């Protein structure tokens, strides 16, 4: 299948170097601390890295897993990720044993609105207001839109350095037939110094050390972390916005607005097989949190695609929700979809992208030696 890429980002993507990325996990190696919470997936990944660095033995890692237990479901894809990271075989074996014993059920997550003593959810620019804002009226709409613009323009600057796991499942159909899954790939997505970098872990459920996001065949997209919002709300884009009213999205009460961006000021591009690149205008809708002015959902569709271009339809959606990164909560992407139509509206491709296991980027592991 021809490689198709969508979305022009506002920064240069680079090939991810095989850097060991871990978390600060002080005191993690003490199994006698029974009051410690069960281990998370990121805890396991950090321990694997520590064992590879020689700071703790695989046997000690297994002891920690056995003593502390785990607070997540052990999936086959996570075991494949451990294999791709060259974990000692005893570690996934210990996790499989817990799964067979039914001891890998996840703990119930705390509600974002529960009283836990943590900081309130933060928009990219700061804490969310404690009072519920009213749906904007015709008179208050300009002020509401300007507050949304300020928040969106600050989004990239205010995101912390973090790592998350991106799982992309790719589907295809020959219209009017049904969708069938083609393949999937899993990547470590590192957001560092306002840039997104990707390290491909598995492709089609097989570990890989050579694949890169740029060389993957088929449809793919990048730029979900901030560039879409910044481009849309940048005053130089000259987007036309219209208030549509109250709505609900992803379980949140929202304000729905529509928009349209002309091609002359658009930064949205479609790259067909590195042979031809076009810039298109686009239109869509945004669902906004009325308290924090953060985007809850973003949808966009390319318009006025040239008739002789191989891609005849291009649509993208991004869902945002509150995620915890190192004790602070952010509105951040949790899911995205991209759909392309190629070849006289017959060939449809669809990517479903999930962003999981957000954790703060740290350059070292602090762990007590044996």
Q: What is the mean pLDDT of residues 214-238?
A: 79
Which of 289, 290, 272, 288 is CA-nearest to residue 280?
272
Cα 183-282-292 angle, rounded to 5 deg: 85
Average pLDDT rounded to a whole number, residues 84-109: 78
The C-alpha angle 355, 360, 364, rounded to 5 degrees, equals: 130
The confidence score (pLDDT) of residue 242 equals 93
Which among 332, 316, 217 is positioned nearest to 268, based on CA atoms?
Answer: 316
Confidence of residue 222 (pLDDT cuts 50, 70, 90): low
Average pLDDT over residues 341-356: 86
> Which of 57-71, 117-131, 277-291, 356-370 is predicted with the least confidence, judged by mean pLDDT?
117-131
pLDDT score recorded for residue 355 = 93
Residue 68 CA to residue 20 CA, distance in Å, equals 24
Q: What does residue 125 show for φ and ψ, rounded to 5 degrees?
A: -105, 0
pTM: 0.65
Average pLDDT, the chain: 77
Residue 91 pLDDT level (bands cut at 50, 70, 90): very high
């Amino acid at each position: 299948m021809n490689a198709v890429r969508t979305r022009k980002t506002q920064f240069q993507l680079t090939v991810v170097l095989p850097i060991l990325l871990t978390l600060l996990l002080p005191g993690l190696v003490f199994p006698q601390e029974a009051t410690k919470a069960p281990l998370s997936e990121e805890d396991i990944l950090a321990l694997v890295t520590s064992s590879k660095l020689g700071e703790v033995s695989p046997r000690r890692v297994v002891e920690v897993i056995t003593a502390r237990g785990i607070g997540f479901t052990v999936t086959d894809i996570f075991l494949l990720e451990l294999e791709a990271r060259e974990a000692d075989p005893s570690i996934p074996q210990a996790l499989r044993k817990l799964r067979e014993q039914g001891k890998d059920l996840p703990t119930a997550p705390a509600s974002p609105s529960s009283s836990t003593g943590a900081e309130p959810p933060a928009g990219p620019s700061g804490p969310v207001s404690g009072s519920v804002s009213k749906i904007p009226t015709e008179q208050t709409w300009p002020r509401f839109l300007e507050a949304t613009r300020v928040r969106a323009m600050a989004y990239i600057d205010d995101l912390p350095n973090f790592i998350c796991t991106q799982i992309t499942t790719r589907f295809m159909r020959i219209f009017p037939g049904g969708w069938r899954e083609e393949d999937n790939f899993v990547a470590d997505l590192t957001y560092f110094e306002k840039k997104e970098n990707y390290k491909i872990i598995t492709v089609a459920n097989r570990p890989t050390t050579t694949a890169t996001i740029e060389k993957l065949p088929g449809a793919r997209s990048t730029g979900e972390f901030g560039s879409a919002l910044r481009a849309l709300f940048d005053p130089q884009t000259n987007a036309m916005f219209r208030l549509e009213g109250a709505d609900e999205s992803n379980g949140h009460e929202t304000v729905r607005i529509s928009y349209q961006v002309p091609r002359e000021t658009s930064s949205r591009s479609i790259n067909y097989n590195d042979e031809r690149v076009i810039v298109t205008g686009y239109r869509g809708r945004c669902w906004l949190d009325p308290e924090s002015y953060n985007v809850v959902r973003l949808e966009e569709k390319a318009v006025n695609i040239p008739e002789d271009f191989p891609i005849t339809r291009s649509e993208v959606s991004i869902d945002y929700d509150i995620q915890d990164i190192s004790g602070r909560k952010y509105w951040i992407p949790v899911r995205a979809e991209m759909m392309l139509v190629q070849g006289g509206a017959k060939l449809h491709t669809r990517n479903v992208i999930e962003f999981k296991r957000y954790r703060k980027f740290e350059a070292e592991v602090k762990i007590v030696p044996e």
